[in-house]
Structure 1
Amino acid sequence: MATQNKASLPVIKRLPKYYRYLNNLAAEGRDKISSSELARMMGTTASQVRQDFNCFGGFGQQGIGYKVDVLLAEISKLLFGDGELLPTILIGAGRLGTAVSSFISRDTNGYRLLAVFDINPDLIGKEMAGVPIHALDELESFCAKNKPVVAVLCVPRQSATELSGELVRLGIQGFWNFSHYDMSVEYPDVTVENVHLGDSLMSLGYRLRNRDES
């Protein structure tokens, strides 16, 4: 099977959507699906579906289609590897951090939340999503001991710019970044997923205001 390195970022970003739809099909008891049907669900073309899967060696036979359980298992391997959870820390125990930590902890998504960090003394020692909240000045000693590889940033932009370099120095290899600071430009050797919730909301507004235009 081809490696992820040979797939473009747009293809990689479509994998979770394939995974989600295939999970639904498996729950409905579906055995097979064609590239055309999967394309309609994805909002793309059958050719694009086949091209996407060919990046990883292909999972079906032309004219026969794809077995849902096999395709789901193969995409699961691509997304989750051998099932080992990625050790993760979260910075920022505010409202956004609370929501994100709950999502990470309750969903089977390949991550294991180890701890949350914040500067608010009223929160230190409490728990969030079943893990302890530590003072930010404990970050270095915690990382040295527990070796997290992923950091989730739920802090303002200025705080993210101040923290990111330190986190990279402490061994963080990937960021799920909600800070409105596009880190991927500054740290090209670190894997970054920048999340801009406002972009999605503005896109919705545009589509609603312009849906009657040709």
Structure 2
Amino acid sequence: MTSKYEVSASVVRRLPRYYRLLGELERSGQTRTSSRELGRQLGMTASQIRQDLSCFGCFGQQGSGYSVSELRENLQRIMGLTEQLPAIVIGAGSLGKVVSENVRFEQRGFRLVGIFDIKPELIGRQLAGLTIQSMDTLDAFCRAESPAAAVLCLPKESAQTTAERLVSLGIRGLWNFSHCDIAVEHAQVVTMHLDDSLMTLSYKLHNL
């Protein structure tokens, strides 16, 4: 699937940082900002921020900077945060419970519509306002509800086969917490490796 904006992955990864900071500025009552100020708070150069934003159009005015609210709204539109695509969680164990109850899906471009597990003792329980369903009902659910994304909170042994099944059912995006890398065609995958983050911190403490 091709993005409407041809930009590098590194630029896309920085957009949420800009959006988060702009939200903080807006909540503090600040109405205007500059690439220099944004860069100072994010540990980046002003030119890098201007270059990133220029990938999506012209924002702000030379000499007067950016309107905080307008720039935030533009980033919200660019990232599709107002569309609330339907999403499901696969795996209702301890990790799935934390993700389902604590991630603010509605503020991040998604709407949680289903939670699934294979364990009989979990099926039928309530989680994040939804009833945990059996994986046996997944195919029929996807045909009826057409979820766009799935959150994988599964053991790594079953992640790849489950991901392939989900893509075959029309899932276009996978948020993967399964502690392994998965490879599927015709879907976007974002994998969360907490160990990688900790090892990155270790490297920085020893080398930088």
Q: RMSD value over aligned CA atoms?
A: 1.7
Q: Which residue in the other structure is 1:140 paired with?
A: 139
In 2, the alpha carbon distance for the partners of 1:104 and 1:130 equals 13
Offset at residue 106 of structure 1 (A): 6.6
Change (3 A) 1:147 1:194: same
**TM-score normalised by length of structure 1:** 0.90
Match for residue 193 of structure 2 among 183, 186, 196? 196
Matches within 5 A, 1:12-27: 12-27=12-27
Count of residue pairs the alignment pairs up: 206
In 2, the alpha carbon distance for the partners of 1:170 and 1:188 equals 13
Q: Which residue in the other structure is 2:88 paired with?
A: 89
Offset at residue 176 of structure 1 (A): 0.3
Q: Which residue in the other structure is 1:207 paired with?
A: 204
Cα deviation code 1:100-150 (max 9, x no counterpart): 111235762121111111111001101111111011111111111111110
In 2, the alpha carbon distance for the partners of 1:189 and 1:162 equals 15
**TM-score normalised by length of structure 2:** 0.93
Change (3 A) 1:193 1:202: same
Offset at residue 179 of structure 1 (A): 1.0
Which 4+ runs in 1 deviate beyond 6 A?
none
Offset at residue 17 of structure 1 (A): 0.6
CA contact (8 A) 1:105 1:112 kept: no
Q: Which residue in the other structure is 2:181 paired with?
A: 182
Q: Which residue in the other structure is 1:30 paired with?
A: 30
Can you give the 5+ residue segments of structure 2 that lack an aligned partner in the other structure? none
Matches within 5 A, 1:54-69: 54-69=54-69
Offset at residue 79 of structure 1 (A): 1.7
In 1, the alpha carbon distance for the partners of 2:104 and 2:63 equals 41
Can you give the 5+ residue segments of structure 1 that lack an aligned partner in the other structure? none
1:169 partner amino acid: S
1:179 partner amino acid: S
